[in-house]
């Protein structure tokens, strides 16, 4: 490493040092060539910084990310396994989740055809229908409701919860 720095290369490394009271310290080392007024390399600069807390935060962030991914996957598996059609919409009326059965009930679409799309762009015939009025009410009141309605454009009954 020292020879590379003396050849003009800047380098960086980290070392872990065991400590009696704190378990370990992570030290970041940066090496750069030291040059004289003629640009000739005459030595090396070495800086050291304790990055233990930063590495611990990064480790915790990775662990949280992994646990969030696992929780999300478990949640998705549960939703995918139910026999009822299930869709979730965000506050702007875009599909955020659609299971296979839900997509099939929505005129034989596939989930990936719906995710991210606006509900009324995909189904404009539903706008100002009793369904959309009920959806608006639920979204505004933030209260669960159950209702059964006939959807004339498809001549099909839907129970929404």
Q: What is the model's pLDDT at position 114?
A: 93
Q: Distance (Å, rounded) from C-alpha 37 to C-alpha 66?
A: 51
Residue in 46, 50, 122 with CA at minimum distance from that of residue 89: 122
| 161 three-class SS | coil
Residue in 6, 3, 4 with CA at minimum distance from that of residue 43: 6
% of the chain beyond a pLDDT of 70: 100
Average pLDDT, the chain: 88
Q: What is the model's pLDDT at position 161?
A: 81
Q: Which residues of the chain have pLDDT under 70?
A: none
Stated pTM of the model = 0.55
Residue in 35, 30, 24 with CA at minimum distance from that of residue 12: 30
Residues 119 and 95 sit within 8 Å (Cβ to Cβ): yes
Q: What is the model's pLDDT at position 134?
A: 86
Q: How many CA atoms lie within 13 A of 13 on its CB side?
A: 9
């Amino acid at each position: 490493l020292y020879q590379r720095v003396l050849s003009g290369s800047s380098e960086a490394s980290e070392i872990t040092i065991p400590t009696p009271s704190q378990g370990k310290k992570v030290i970041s080392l940066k090496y750069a060539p030291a040059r004289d007024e003629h640009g000739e390399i005459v030595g090396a600069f070495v800086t050291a910084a304790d990055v233990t807390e930063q590495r611990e935060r990064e480790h915790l962030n990775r662990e949280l990310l992994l646990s969030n991914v696992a929780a999300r996957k478990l949640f998705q598996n549960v939703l995918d396994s139910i026999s009822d059609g299930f869709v979730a919409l965000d506050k702007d009326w875009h599909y955020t989740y659609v299971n296979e059965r839900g997509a099939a009930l929505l005129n034989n679409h596939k989930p990936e055809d719906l995710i991210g799309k606006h509900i009324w762009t995909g189904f404009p015939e539903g706008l100002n229908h009793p369904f959309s009025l009920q959806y608006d009410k639920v979204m505004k009141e933030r209260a669960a409701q159950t209702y059964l309605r006939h959807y004339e454009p498809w001549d099909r009954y839907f129970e929404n919860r």
